[in-house]
Amino acid sequence: MKLRLVALALGISCSCVAQQGMEEMWDKSSVAKEHPNIQWFKEAKFGLFIHWGLYSQLAGTWDGKNYYGSGEWIMHQAKIPVSRYRKVAESFNPVNFNADEWAQLAKDAGIKYMVITAKHHEGFSMFDSKVTDFDIMDATPYKKDPMKALAAATRKRGIQFGFYYSQFQDWYEPNGGRNTWDFDESKKDYQQYYRQKAIPQLKELLTNYGPLGIVWFDTPGGMTKEQTQAFIDELRVLQPKSLFSSRVGQGLGDYKDFGDSEVPPVPIRGAWESIYTHNDSWGYIAHDMNFKSAHEIIRLLSNVASKGGNLMLNVGPDGKGNIPYYSIKYLKETGTWLQKNGESIYASTAGWIPAQPWGVTTSKPGKLFLHVWGRPENGRLLVPGFTNAVAKVYALTDKKALPFQQQGGDLIVNMRALSDEHTPDKVLVVEYKGTPPAYNAAAPVTVSAQYAANNIEAIFAKTSGASKIQSLTYSHYFGDWKHTTCVTDMQAPEDAASFTVRIADPGDYKLILEYACPQESAKQEGRLEVDGETYMFRTLRTSEFDKSAPLLFIKHPVTIFTAKKAGVYTITVSPYQQGKELFKLKGIIAEPLK
Residues making contact with ligand H79 (CB under 6 A): 25, 70, 72-73, 218-219, 260, 275, 282, 478-479
**107 or 256, CB closer to ligand H79?**
256
Shorter beta-carbon distance to ligand H79: residue 124 or 439: 124
Angle ∠(438,37,316) on CA atoms, nearest 5: 90
CB closer to ligand H79 out of 44 and 50: 50
The residues, any chain, with a CB within 8 Å of residue 255's CB and separated by 6 or more, are: 31, 35, 38, 41, 243, 245, 246, 270, 271, 272, 273
Please report, for the chain, how many H helices and E strands are present, in that order. 12, 30
Instruction: Return the number of the residue (56 or 491) whose C-beta is nearest ligand H79.
Output: 56
Taking the least distance from each CB to ligand H79, the nearer of 71 and 385 is 71
CA dihedral 579→459→481→308, nearest 10 degrees, is: -170
Least distance to ligand H79, CB of residue 584, Å = 21
**CA 534 and chain centroid, separation:** 38
CB 117 to ligand H79: min, Å: 7
Report, in Å, the least distance between residue 82 CB and ligand H79.
18
Tell me whether residue 275 or residue 345 sits nearer to ligand H79 (CB atom): 275
Spatial contact of 176 and 193, defined as CB atoms under 8 Å apart = yes
Q: Which is nearer to ligand H79, 248 or 528 (CB)?
A: 248
Three-state SS at 81:
coil
3-state secondary structure of 445: strand
Is 576 within 8 Å of 485 (Cβ atoms)? no
How near is the Cβ of 157 to ligand H79 at its closest, in Å? Answer: 24
* Contact criterion met (CB below 8 Å) for 384 and 409: yes
Q: State the minimum distance, in angstroms, from the CB of residue 25 to ligand H79.
A: 5
Residue among 519, 515, 498 at smallest CA distance from 569: 498
Residue 25 or residue 443: which is nearer to ligand H79 going by CB?
25
- Supply the minimum distance, in Å, between the C-beta of residue 354 and ligand H79: 29
User: What are the start-end ranges of the H helices in 60-145?
Assistant: 74-77, 82-88, 99-108
Q: What is the closest distance, in whole angstroms, from the C-beta atom of residue 49 to ligand H79 in the complex?
A: 7
- In angstroms, the CA 515 to CA 575 distance is 14
Nearer to ligand H79, 424 or 479 (CB): 479
Decide: 551 and 583 in contact? Cβ < 8 Å. no
Q: What is the DSSP string of 87-102?
A: HHGGG---TT--HHHH
Task: Label the pairing between strands 46-50 and 113-119.
Answer: parallel
Residue 326: CB minimum distance to ligand H79, A: 20
Pick the closest to residue 584 from 483, 475, 446, 443 (CA basis): 483
Write down the least CB distance from residue 207 to ligand H79, Å: 24
By the 8 A CB rule, do 521 and 502 touch? no
